[in-house]
Structure 1
Amino acid sequence: MTQNSADKSPVSLLGLGSMGTALARAWLAAGHPLTVWNRTPGRAEALAAEGAKAAESAAGAVAASGLVVVCLLDDDSVGAVLADADLAGKDLVNLTTTTPAQARARAAWAEERGARYLDGGIMAVPPMVGVPEAGGYVFYSGSRESFEFRRAALSVPVGAKYVGEDAGFAALYDVALLSAMYGMFAGAAHAFALVRREDVDPVAFAPLLADWLAAMARSVHGTAAQLRSGDYTEGVASPLAMQVAGTPTFLATAEQQGVSTELLLPYFELMRRRLETGSGEEGLTGVVDLLLR
């Protein structure tokens, strides 16, 4: 097959939860012949009414296409569902949420069975699938040949970003970005809690908070540059010593507002520890090293 002939290549999709169903509809809308399978047949039957072919078994779905995509509950489900399938010659794309170690082990498992393997980390929610302007994408890692050959089909539901031949990298990038997201959510929750009992309209406050977070997000580039160079004082505008000295004000304000400090204290403690072992002239990058065990 040439890349052009693969543009509308058949796709087999196993797993029709909310994300799997959204993926299925995007491939159908783009004209890809689609075979689907789900442990609960009703979901496959609903998509069959929209033009998909419902396979009677997971092995049958795998046999129907060269590109096999799985979007299941967990890594154990992937192994169980594909146990009786012939994967030889297939491009197996695993969009199931796993750890990097599980992805690497699953890649070796697939290669032993004759498949080229790609692991995927989905950076989107179902309503973003099939909507290019929504900005969703999937991290892919593993077989570069498989990714290049299947890029057109994989790019149909959402964007496709290849992050390396190490099969664990997609899961690693996925969890790293989502971990940063939860940290941001924690900070936003604390901010809203501080103003919650005051005569402050949260809807009016939100744009100020969003703009501030967006401005502060640019600091990740400086952190990355410092981690690469090893010079944690490079370009520092707010030295660690000054920031640590200011933390009692944040804690006192929370106390006065009747707000728990449990979201702030762990990070403030890391800042204090870094000040004891590092330089007060550096920024916050040294906290990264304290997290390594």
Structure 2
Amino acid sequence: MGIELHEYQTTLSTRVSLSGIGVHSGKAVTIHFSPADADMGIVFSRIDAADASHEIRALVSEIGGTDLSTILGDPAGLHVATVEHLMATVFGLGIDNMSIEIDGPEVPVLDGSAQPFVDAFEQAGIRTLEAKRRYIRVIKPVRIESGASWAEFLPHSGTRFEVEIDFESAAIGRQIYAGNMGAETFKRDIARARTFGFMKDVERLWAAGYALGSSLENSVVIGDDDRVINMEGLRFADEFVRHKTLDAMGDLALAGARFIGCFRSYRGGHRLNAAALRRLLSDRSAFEIVETTRRERGRSAELIAVNAPVFVPWAL
């Protein structure tokens, strides 16, 4: 089928923590990941805030900004920024429920990829809960366009990403990643791909309050001569499109449930990913909620449609 069908929800086995700096804020931050009950989803708590009890759910309805990163909450108030690499790991490893405590406004960038999150979650362990997992199955095409850029969801028997980028820079050019996505594929093909940027944009970003924590330790940087200036070079020949796929996974993880279908995009980004997800979830004729079931011992999992409650985690 091209999809890893898991009948039951998951969470972490034990608590694990990471520390680093925010790529845009440049501020030191520590983030703690803890097991959570079934049906809780992914929930952030800003433990440095005056109202530390306030929770921010990792849902598309909570997106407050998409400029250079995905921000959950109120950008002018209580928020958590740059959640995409973390959420891509949640999507890629198949983690349904997790409590996240963070003592700053931005998830640490670490090495600029999702690999440190993969390592941390695998160290903590992932355990299965007793509650059934639900999926969002795409049943008709949904498309959104913005200038020359576009994104769409199509029916597909698995969970598939087809991401294409097209940059004028000769260091990047036109690249395509296409593949069905499961945990092993994510770890092998996507997790290690780092964020990237152009040296010519640095001063402009700094002046706007962005990229204050960016460095060659956490970003692939393209110099004024249109070459990658990192001494170690690229981790993949097409690392740029793999990272764009990672970003798309992180943004689409905010559906609140994994999707069964194909996501395709051309020259996309956080704003377009979020808009495509909103377009899909706003059209109840475009998807159905399904669970897996094994009717007989030894048989492979089957998908069955279920009646979703009036309120569902991915409601807009």
TM score, norm. by length of structure 1: 0.21
TM score, norm. by length of structure 2: 0.20
**More contact order relative to length (CA 8 Å, sep ≥ 6):** 2
Whichever of the two has the greater Rg, that structure is: 1
